[in-house]
């Protein structure tokens, strides 16, 4: 008996819950599938399936053997795919969802390099700050920025962490001056992203979040960035987002002695022992980009 083939047959029987359905999946006959399962039971010395006229169920031993078969077969398939992909380039359509800030303010930093590195990948990019449906016909991978690991039935790989900083334009500072403490933020015009609950310094600078009411509230980080550059008020961003603006003098740090929380960058994709090559390539590229970012 070909044990590897027998495991494939038994897995199909367990998942199809029947010999005929499994035979259809495998392109063989009912009698061949039934005979293979009987041979397995004989070799193992135990019954794997309960047979009756209405349905097929697995015994306790059958359930354990099924899970063992799945692990072995998936590992084998993954190993085959991994070796086969060593000399292949990622290709095909890759559907990616990114936060608006990554698809606008950060796009020139990561996209040209990815497309040059993987010319056979056709990228379909959606910019949206909401968590989105994964798999099916929607997206292959998503990037999200959040305070903690998203509670979703997905693989969540952390790519980077970035402290949150307060910034303002030189024109705003020349008009309104700089706050000297967290408490003084209440005397300034604060700009806030819609889903932001406030500014909470974790370094002991104050208790709880500031009570400063926002002078302007927007629903995209890109709009918040534009408002800050226009000198309208003080806003919070991840340091990675505004590193270039700070280095170029377009924005100035406010209360630089304090850190205002941390945001984590995650790549999210459906559970799989071996994700598609194009997904792995994108995730690794973004991890390298954020590691090298200021």
**Average pLDDT, integer, range 157-180:** 94
Candidate from 33-37, 51-55, 197-201 with smallest mean pLDDT = 197-201
187 DSSP assignment: G
CA atoms within 13 A on the CB side of 169: 16
Residue 119 lies in a domain: no
Is the pTM higher than 0.75? The answer reads no
Candidate from 12-26, 161-175, 224-238 with smallest mean pLDDT = 12-26
Q: What is the DSSP string of 211-252?
A: -PPEEEEES-HHHHHHHHHTTS-BEEEEHHHHHHHHHTTSSE
Residue 78 lies in a domain: yes
Residue 155 lies in a domain: no
Helix 3-16 and helix 19-26, axial crossing angle in degrees, nearest 10: 120
- How sure is the predictor about 43, in pLDDT bands with cuts at 50, 70 and 90? very high
Q: How far apart are CA 219 and CA 168, in angstroms?
A: 19
* Local structure of 265: helix, strand or coil: strand
Residue 165 lies in a domain: no
Apex CA 173: angle with CA 170 and CA 174, to 5°? 85
Number of domains in the chain: 1
Is 249 a residue whose pLDDT tops 70?
yes
Question: Distances from the Cα of 128 to the Cαs of 132, 150, 161, 287, in angstroms?
Answer: 8, 16, 20, 20
pLDDT tens column, 124-150? 999 987 776 665 557 899 999 888 766
Look up the domain containing 42 and give its range: 3-85
**Average pLDDT, integer, range 190-204:** 63
Residue 218 lies in a domain: no
Is 108 a residue whose pLDDT tops 70?
yes
Q: Would you call 234 exposed, middle or buried from its count of C-beta atoms within 10 A (0-12, 13-18, 19+)?
A: buried
pLDDT tens column, 58-96? 999 999 999 999 989 988 887 777 676 656 789 999 999
Copy the structure tokens of residue 168.
């303002």
**Average pLDDT, integer, range 167-178:** 96
Q: Return phi, psi of residue 218, to 5°.
A: -130, 165
Residues with Cβ within 8 Å of residue 178, at least 6 apart in sequence: 168, 252, 254, 255
Residue 76 lies in a domain: yes
pLDDT for the residue 77: 81
Buried b (16+ CB within 10 A) or exposed e, 67-84: eebeeeeeeeeeeeeeee
pLDDT for the residue 206: 43
Instruction: Confirm if 199 and 255 have CB atoms less than 8 A apart.
Output: no
Apex CA 65: angle with CA 61 and CA 69, to 5°? 170
Residue 70 lies in a domain: yes
Output the average pLDDT for the chain: 86
pLDDT for the residue 208: 40
Is 216 a residue whose pLDDT tops 70?
yes
- How sure is the predictor about 156, in pLDDT bands with cuts at 50, 70 and 90? confident
CATH number at residue 72: 1.10.10.10
Residue 286 lies in a domain: no
């Amino acid at each position: 008996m070909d044990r590897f083939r027998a495991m494939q047959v038994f897995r199909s029987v367990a998942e199809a819950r029947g010999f005929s359905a499994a035979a259809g999946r495998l392109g063989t006959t009912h009698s061949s599938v039934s005979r293979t399962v009987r041979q397995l039971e004989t070799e193992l010395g135990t019954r794997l399936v309960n047979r009756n006229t209405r349905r097929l169920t697995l015994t306790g031993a059958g359930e354990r053997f099924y899970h063992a078969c799945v692990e072995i077969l998936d590992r084998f398939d993954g190993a085959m795919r991994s070796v086969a992909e060593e000399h292949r380039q990622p290709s095909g359509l890759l559907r990616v969802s990114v936060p608006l800030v990554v698809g606008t303010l950060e796009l020139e930093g990561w996209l040209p390099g990815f497309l040059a590195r993987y010319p056979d990948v056709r990228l379909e990019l959606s910019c949206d700050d909401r968590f989105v449906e994964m798999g099916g016909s929607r997206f292959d991978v998503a990037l999200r920025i959040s305070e903690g690991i998203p509670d979703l039935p997905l693989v969540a790989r952390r790519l980077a962490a970035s402290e949150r900083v307060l910034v303002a334009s030189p024109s705003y500072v020349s008009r309104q001056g700089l706050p000297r403490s967290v408490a003084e933020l209440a005397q300034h015009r604060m700009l806030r992203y819609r889903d932001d609950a406030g500014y909470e310094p974790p370094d002991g600078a104050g208790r709880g979040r500031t009570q400063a009411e926002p002078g302007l509230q927007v629903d995209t980080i890109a709009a918040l960035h534009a408002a800050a550059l226009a000198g309208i008020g003080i806003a919070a961003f991840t340091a990675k987002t505004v590193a270039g603006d700070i280095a170029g003098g377009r924005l100035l740090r406010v209360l630089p002695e304090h850190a205002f929380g941390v945001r984590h960058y995650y790549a999210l994709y459906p559970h799989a022992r071996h994700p598609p090559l194009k997904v792995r390539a994108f995730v690794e590229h973004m991890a390298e980009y954020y590691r090298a970012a200021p």
